[in-house]
Structure 1
Amino acid sequence: MKTSLHHANDDAATPVLIGEGFAKPAVQASPEAIRWLALGAVAGPVLFTLAWVVLGFLSPGYTAWGTRIAPYSPISQGISGLGLGITAPFMNTAFVLCGLFLLAGAVGIFQGIREMGALARWSCTVLLALSPLGMAVDGIFTLESFLPHMVGFLLGIASPVLSFVVIGLLLRRVQRWRRFGSWLLLASPLTLVLLVLFFLTFSPTVAGTQTGVAGLTERILAVEVQAWFVAMGWLAFRRR
């Protein structure tokens, strides 16, 4: 015999006791809402890329650690340089917004893959969320706060070396995501190679920001990493 315990003043999402267990909450995120949430992984990188492209042309330079660095060069100087000077409010906002969009996208992507178990879905979500977390950190702590900014950079750019492998292996267990999972397994070493290339060209000095090609190698790395987010978000949106 089934029994139901429910009071008129209970919240709409309160579980209802049925038999020996609880029914599902009355209020849940709809599959359609989760599907659209996945597009955050597309919107974030597009916004971020547009920001550093446009602001890179507009920036006259910036002052870091009391030294004036001008003119700004996207070839030799990193994206983080745009977080200082007159472009700072816009670039730092783009860092944070991109992080939030990507975080929403990570939730939407994996919570919509119902073939995966709950543990696998949330593990993938957390791993993929490391990168947007790093971007948000870089928007809060600018280049002059070097240590937390570098931690944010490593979370944003280096964490995919690990997360792409784990996520790729888990996605390969899902029939409709198997091919993309295989591509993610290749994305991990590619990201590692580009990361090493960046550090080989990077010099953590004021003089180093005015010469070399570290700005270019960083941009190639950023575009490569975020392209995988875009692909995941778009595929998650289309495949439901």
Structure 2
Amino acid sequence: MTITTDSTAPRAGAATPVPARRPGAAYLALGALLGPALCTVAWIVLGLVSPGYSIGGDWISPYSAIAQPISGLGMGATAAYMNPAFVLSGLVGVAGVAGVLARVRRSGRRALRWVALVLLAASPAGLVVAGLFPLDSPVLHLAGGTMLLGLPVLGFLVAGSYLRGAAGWARFGRLLMLVASPLTLALFVLYSATFDHSVVAAGHGVAGLTQRLLCVEIFGWYAALGWRAFRRR
């Protein structure tokens, strides 16, 4: 009697294969790239056409990308375009973060995975808050700005710690921990040091430039996460 064996069946004691990530998650991960791209295009284009804006009784004109924060575009004539762009890009970014982590093979550290998800999603969620509550709602707008620009310092650190233990992500995880987190902190400190309301209201200073440098740096890491997750098999 001939006994046949199924070569595809797992051997006794062998590790159970981890199911492949759902293909839809790859396209969802692109949101981590598309959300920042949408926001960046919006503030570049609207910054070129903004006639200025009023805040706290001060009329600030002309609008300068060097001196004025991006949030100024959420006021005045450009508000009808910038604030929806904030909200939409933030929502797309949050979805992208979920897609990225869905593409990462689970390494067993469930608690760290959830903390990384929450912290990474907090930055694009800050865009949503900033769009819903522009500069004339200073407390909530500041909260959104802190989520967007400050929390990535911790988010990159925790996400990097998680990713360096995941198959195929070790190098990128180390980059997030050793480069992205400290660089974001340095740029955040620089932006905070150059921002002064009276100077901004007078149209002087470089707060707009330092904020944009910080945004581009943060957005670049999110875009890299999204693209890597999309391309990875």
**TM band (smaller chain):** 0.7 to 0.9
- Give the secondary structure class of the aligned counterpart of 1:92: helix
Aligned to 2:172: 180
Distance 1:207-1:152 versus aligned 2 partners, 3 A rule? closer
**Matches of 2:26 and 2:85 in 1, distance apart?**
23
Aligned match of 1:34: 25
| SS class of match (2:146) | helix
Match of 1:108? Answer: 99
**Residue 206 and residue 142 in structure 1: after superposition, are their counterparts in 2 closer, same or farther (change >3 A)?**
farther
What's the counterpart of residue 123 of structure 2?
Answer: 131
Aligned with residue 217 of structure 1, among 203, 210, 222: 210
Tell me if the contact between 1:42 and 1:230 (Cα under 8 Å) persists in the aligned partners.
yes
**Alignment partner of 1:68: what SS?**
strand
Q: Give 1:75 shift.
A: 0.3
**What value does the CA root-mean-square deviation take over the aligned residues?**
1.3
Q: 1:232 to 1:209 in 2, by over 3 A?
A: farther
The Cα of 1:112 is off from its aligned counterpart by 1.8
> Normalising by the residue count of structure 1, what TM-score does the alignment of the two structures yield?
0.85
- Amino acid in structure 1 at the alignment position of 2:36: P
Q: Note if contact 1:77-1:215 (Cα within 8 Å) is conserved in structure 2.
A: yes
- Cross-structure match for 1:238: 231
Write the distance in 1 (CA, Å) between the matches of 2:196 and 2:31: 33
Letter in 1 for 2:170: R
Give the one of 72, 79, 98 matched to 1:81.
72
Aligned-residue offset at 1:184: 0.3
> Residue 68 of structure 2 aligns to a residue in which SS?
coil
Q: Does 1:90 align with 2:81?
A: yes
Equivalenced residues, count: 211
Which residue of structure 2 aligns with residue 67 of structure 1? 58
Distance 1:116 1:233 in 2: 19
Q: Secondary structure at the match of 1:175?
A: coil
Letter in 1 for 2:171: R
Residues 60 and 39 (structure 1), Cα distance of their counterparts in 2 relative to 1, 3 Å cut: same
SS of 1:210 mapped into structure 2: coil
Give the Cα separation in 1 of the matches to 2:188 and 2:74: 21
- Contact 1:203 1:209 (C-alpha < 8 Å) held by counterparts: no
Q: What's the CA shift for 1:237? A: 0.3
Q: Specify whether residues 209 and 114 from structure 1 end up closer, same or farther in structure 2 by C-alpha distance, changes over 3 A only.
A: farther
Secondary structure in structure 2 of the residue aligned to 1:121: helix
User: Sequence identity of aligned pairs in percent?
Assistant: 50
Q: Structure 2 length normalisation: TM-score?
A: 0.87
SS in structure 1 at match of 2:197: coil
1:209 deviates by: 5.2
SS at 2:169's partner residue? helix
Give the distance between the partners of 1:239 and 1:133, measured in 2 at CA. Answer: 25
Aligned to 1:226: 219
Greater length-normalized contact order (CA 8 Å, ≥ 6 residues apart): 2
> How big is the shift at 1:207?
5.2
Task: Report the alpha carbon displacement of residue 175 of structure 1 after superposing the two structures with TM.
Answer: 3.1
Aligned twin of 1:157: 149
- What CA distance in whole angstroms lies between the structure 2 residues aligned with 1:238 and 1:136? 27
Q: Which residue of 1 aligns with 2:16?
A: none
CA–CA distance in structure 1, aligned partners of residues 102 and 78 of structure 2: 36
